[in-house]
Chain A
Amino acid sequence: MKEPKIKTRDLTLFYGEKMALNAISMDIPEKEVTAFIGPSGCGKSTFLRTLNRMNDLIPNVKITGEVLVDSLNIYDKQIDVVNLRKKVGMVFQKSNPFTKSIFENVAYGPKINGMNNKAKLEEIVESSLKKAFIWEEVKDRLHDSAMGLSGGQQQRMCIARALAVEPEIILMDEPASALDPISTAKIEELIFELKKSYTIVIVTHNMQQAARVSDVTAFFYLGELIEFGKTKKIFTTPDKKQTEEYITGRFG
């Protein structure tokens, strides 16, 4: 088996006094889709956010343990968070386009990284939008406000925006939870396509979605990693009783 893209070792996280994650150790494989499932408040989103240090923004967070991305501990004091996030991109639950044009939204990442060549920017914007399967829908209105797009389009544009900085890992925090089934299907199709070149970690509340899109699944409950393994196995013959009960809908 090839070296995992992300490894966590005894990752424990406190919000103030409250323990949100308890000694999570996990290996996330490269260029595959890893799904996190579990009931609300079980820590899966928190765990996702530790992978690109988005939790740094929240005051009173205390983290112990290690997160190794390509064998480098990202909680090392020497690590530059800004560069880390270029490598580990993120797509949020609620689409959050900037109040700028579609072009400006997608070009934002490359621009803040010092890309000023207009032709090159246009190229990046076009290829990113194509990768996110939204180019055909927006190519004639690149300079209109992104706020005018539909929810599903906004979310795909946000994915394009994340792709524009050429990350290696994409974290998705319930990317389809606010979307209708058709938009959800498009996002899933997109995830399937993206895993050829990116390592994807997705948090979802939708069991079928996890089963459909992921290769590996992790089940969280009350801040603990209950079970982690091949999606097929988790959904058919889980080792733990809790996993089985959650998947079959008996609790959660």
Chain B
Amino acid sequence: MDNSINNTGFVFTKESLRKKFRWSEFLSERIITGVAFLSITIIILIFFFVFRETLPIFKQKKEIVKVESVQKQEQYGGDENAQPTNASGQEQYGVITKDTMMTENQVVGEDTVIHGADEATVKSLLGKDWLPVSDRPRYGLIPLLVGTVKITLLAILFAAPIAILAALFSAAFAPPWMREIIKPAIELLAGFPSVVIGFFALMVMASFFQNIFGYDTRLNAFVGGVAMALAAIPIIYTITEDALTAVPRSYTEASLALGASRWQTALFVTLPAATPGIFAAVLLGVGRVFGETMIALMATGNAAMISVNPFESVRTLAATIGAEMAEVVFGDTHYSVLFLIGSLLFIFTFGLNALAEFYVKGKLVKRFQGK
């Protein structure tokens, strides 16, 4: 005791125990808090921006109907109609278009009126055509959604089994030295630039698979799906591996002591105990594929069509933003629709991550503490 007092020069008195204000501590605390809030604020601002840019689609709906009726009367009037809204802005190109449009308006009626108005109302958003730059723009999101879901399913179908089995191998079977190699190697793949994977898919895989399956369209959902699987495997693998190694050793020992083989133990004890973690891993993989842009842009063919055939081209939501945002007119309907797609992507990935988080937490608590 005496020694410590001498060494630190600290004397235990009422005076020395009085609260002291420490500048360095105060400042560092505030700075760290500030940085934390800054990053949260930036994220919130981004969300806010994306949603705000989406809003005009829903807002303009009613106004457009009015504009439409005015246009019907004045449509050959030309430029005096030109307002900052793209509605009339785009319709200025050529009388022929207007003629066609007019005819269609008369023939088909209400539905086409909406198309003709070149405004993405909720109804046209649910249409089957994504033709944002045609003479008669249509913003049907269905083909993009179908394309995205299709490619996500394909990618996860490839990635999940491979990644989970690889994780099972390295967690339960691989000798330690091999695990030391496999785990970092696969994890490195996560840092692989997706443009490189996309390039590889575009140049090598597309031709390779074409030789095997003999399909017509060289770039299609299948090629894109396999390429995306390459991007998703490291994520699914890493989290699954962590979940598997987090299963207490006592479980494995209990099973082995009952005369189970290593394989039975891995399959019937380790894997079930890690299910919540594996589920989360797959969900995060889905999120990765869902939002993947570069690979989709390069390897899927980018044709917005609705089909279940995996060997047809697809266009994904993310790729659509990536491909079209640079060419769009600021404030245009097309612009707003792209932001709507952004919002959808955000909501979906947010939902997925939330599900992964809460499902896993809830399940784990239930599992390890009894009901």
In the complex, the answer to whether B248 meets A147 with C-beta atoms within 8 Å is no
Per-position 1/0 for B235-267, Cβ under 8 A of A: 000000000000010111111111111001000
In the complex, the answer to whether A89 meets B254 with C-beta atoms within 8 Å is no
Asked if B149 is an interface residue, CB under 8 A from chain A, the answer is no
In the complex, the answer to whether A112 meets B367 with C-beta atoms within 8 Å is no
In the complex, the answer to whether A82 meets B254 with C-beta atoms within 8 Å is no
Asked if A94 is an interface residue, CB under 8 A from chain B, the answer is yes
How far is A249 from B281 in the complex, measured between Cα atoms in Å?
53
Which of A149-165 touch B at CB < 8 Å?
149, 158, 161-162, 164-165
Given contacts A96-B248, A112-B264, contact A145 B370 (CB under 8 A): yes
In the complex, the answer to whether B259 meets A85 with C-beta atoms within 8 Å is yes
In the complex, the answer to whether A108 meets B255 with C-beta atoms within 8 Å is yes
How far is A89 from B260 in the complex, measured between Cα atoms in Å?
11
9 pairs from A and B in contact (CB 8 Å cutoff): A85-B257, A89-B258, A99-B367, A108-B260, A109-B260, A112-B268, A145-B370, A147-B368, A164-B258
Extra contacts besides A96-B254, A147-B368, A147-B370 (11): CB < 8 Å: A54-B256, A54-B257, A59-B176, A85-B259, A92-B250, A96-B248, A96-B253, A100-B272, A109-B258, A145-B370, A146-B370
Asked if A90 is an interface residue, CB under 8 A from chain B, the answer is yes
Nearest 3 CB-CB pairs, A to B? A148-B370, A86-B259, A147-B370
Given contacts A96-B248, A145-B370, contact A52 B257 (CB under 8 A): yes
In the assembled complex, which residues on chain B have CB atoms less than 8 Å from the CB atom of A92?
A: 250, 253-254, 257
How far is A89 from B366 in the complex, measured between Cα atoms in Å?
29
In the complex, the answer to whether B250 meets A94 with C-beta atoms within 8 Å is yes
In the complex, what residue of chain A is closest to B364 when comparing beta carbons? Answer: A99
Asked if A144 is an interface residue, CB under 8 A from chain B, the answer is yes
In the assembled complex, which residues on chain B have CB atoms less than 8 Å from the CB atom of A99?
A: 272-273, 367-368
How far is A57 from B366 in the complex, measured between Cα atoms in Å?
29
Chain B, interface size category, equals 20 to 34
Asked if B4 is an interface residue, CB under 8 A from chain A, the answer is no
Interface centre among B260, B367, B368, B371 (most CB of A within 10 A): B260
In the complex, the answer to whether B273 meets A98 with C-beta atoms within 8 Å is yes
In the assembled complex, which residues on chain B have CB atoms less than 8 Å from the CB atom of A208?
A: none
In the complex, the answer to whether B368 meets A98 with C-beta atoms within 8 Å is no
- With both chains docked as a complex, state the minimum distance between the C-beta of B235 and any C-beta of chain A, in angstroms: 25
Asked if B369 is an interface residue, CB under 8 A from chain A, the answer is yes
Asked if A113 is an interface residue, CB under 8 A from chain B, the answer is yes
How far is A83 from B176 in the complex, measured between Cα atoms in Å?
25
- With both chains docked as a complex, state the minimum distance between the C-beta of B159 and any C-beta of chain A, in angstroms: 26
In the assembled complex, which residues on chain A have CB atoms less than 8 Å from the CB atom of B189?
A: none
- With both chains docked as a complex, state the minimum distance between the C-beta of A198 and any C-beta of chain B, in angstroms: 15
In the complex, what residue of chain A is closest to B259 when comparing beta carbons? Answer: A86
- With both chains docked as a complex, state the minimum distance between the C-beta of A171 and any C-beta of chain B, in angstroms: 8
In the complex, what residue of chain A is closest to B367 when comparing beta carbons? Answer: A99
In the complex, what residue of chain B is closest to A100 when comparing beta carbons? Answer: B272
In the complex, the answer to whether B256 meets A98 with C-beta atoms within 8 Å is no
In the complex, what residue of chain A is closest to B247 when comparing beta carbons? Answer: A99
In the complex, the answer to whether A112 meets B254 with C-beta atoms within 8 Å is no
